[in-house]
Amino acid sequence: MKAVRIGAPAGLDRLETVEIADPGLPEAGEIRVRIHATSLNYHDYRIANGEALAVRGRIPMADGAGVVEAIGEGVEAFAVGDSVVSLFFPQWSDGPARIGDFAQTPGDGVDGYAREVVVRPASWFTHAPAGFTHAQAATLTTAGLTAWRALVVDGKLKAGDIVLTLGTGGVSIFALQFAHAMGAHVIATSSSDEKLERLRELGAAHTINYRATPDWGRAATDWTGGIGVDHVVEVGGVGTLPQSIAAVRIGGHISLIGALTGRSGDVPLTAFLVKQARLQGLIVGSRSHQIDMIRALETTGIKPVIDRTFALEDLGEAFLLQEAGRHFGKIVVEF
């Protein structure tokens, strides 16, 4: 069967399409899944291009969606023919966060889903949302669940709240969709007026071009009448955090998800203390969170925004599109 492996040294031009052995039939507690799609995330990008430590020959990609082909003894949650989607943290079933590394994350500590078939414990998957294509389901494992946890699980989002999202990547688009569907008001940022128009079409109540308005934190606060936003979905890191602090209301909530602008730097502590806000780091979520999110997707009718799809052997080209930052929403690989 076909798979993609990371070469040595790692690099987007060193991803190797290879033939590997079929994993065979599942044992007790396992399922065999024919993978049909995966989607790109920043975590996958850092592994593929060598920024993060990767084992030579590792099969990348944390997200995987497909169809159950066989079940092992004792498996009751799934049946042959079920559409399923993978988990980012297979060992985190429910409760508070207990995992702070990627030792069991597919595509990082263990082989991922850039391959046609896997045999894994049944607990490594959930059902995909009814009516979703495999490409749509493959966007949920990392980006969808991160946005869900940021706003719903940790942020306790409620109707009437004001949410600030940054950019047009997968997490930010999902955050906009979840917030809008739940009756919140969204302020969305981008450096592209064309993308801002698309954000308004998705339900953004207000948009800000952060290149034209460098003090976008103040602009967001002004739009709220000087109060500030209830939630910030912060994907930039140290380069954008000062503006996010400026935007958040007193006692508000900032979800620190990404570090696209760097991994260390100065933070305006006095401004943050005055805001008395909650800054919470998070990495994706649990199996229970994913099940709840999927139920919400089925109820609200939200569908992921997919920018473009690629073939498995073109995974490197897909990463180059991600690297360029020209996409809107998710980039998917189908096979």
Q: What is the rounded distance in angstroms from the CA atom of residue 147 to the CA atom of residue 90?
A: 18
Across-strand partners of 234?
Answer: 256
DSSP assignment string, 154-179 = TT---TT-EEEEESSSHHHHHHHHHH
Q: Which of 99, 82, 81 is nearest to 90 (CA)?
A: 99
Q: What is the rounded distance in angstroms from the CA atom of residue 198 to the CA atom of residue 319?
A: 23
Q: Tell me what pLDDT residue 263 has.
A: 65
Task: Using DSSP, state whether 25 is helix, strand or coil.
Answer: coil
pLDDT per residue, tens digit, the chain (335 aa), is 999 999 888 889 989 999 999 999 999 999 999 999 999 999 999 999 988 766 779 999 999 999 999 999 999 999 999 999 999 999 999 999 989 999 999 999 999 999 999 999 999 999 999 999 999 999 999 999 999 999 999 999 999 999 999 999 999 999 999 999 999 999 999 999 999 999 999 999 999 999 999 999 999 999 999 999 999 999 998 899 999 999 999 999 999 997 766 666 677 888 999 999 999 999 999 999 999 999 999 999 999 999 999 999 999 999 999 999 999 999 999 99
Q: Tell me what pLDDT residue 319 has.
A: 97
Q: Tell me what pLDDT residue 258 has.
A: 75
- Which domains does the chain carry? 2-142+285-334 (3.90.180.10), 155-281 (3.40.50.720)
CB 31 within 8 A of CB 125: yes
Q: Which of 202, 203, 204 is nearest to 220 (CA)?
A: 204
How crowded is residue 171: how many other Cβ atoms within 10 Å of its Cβ? 26
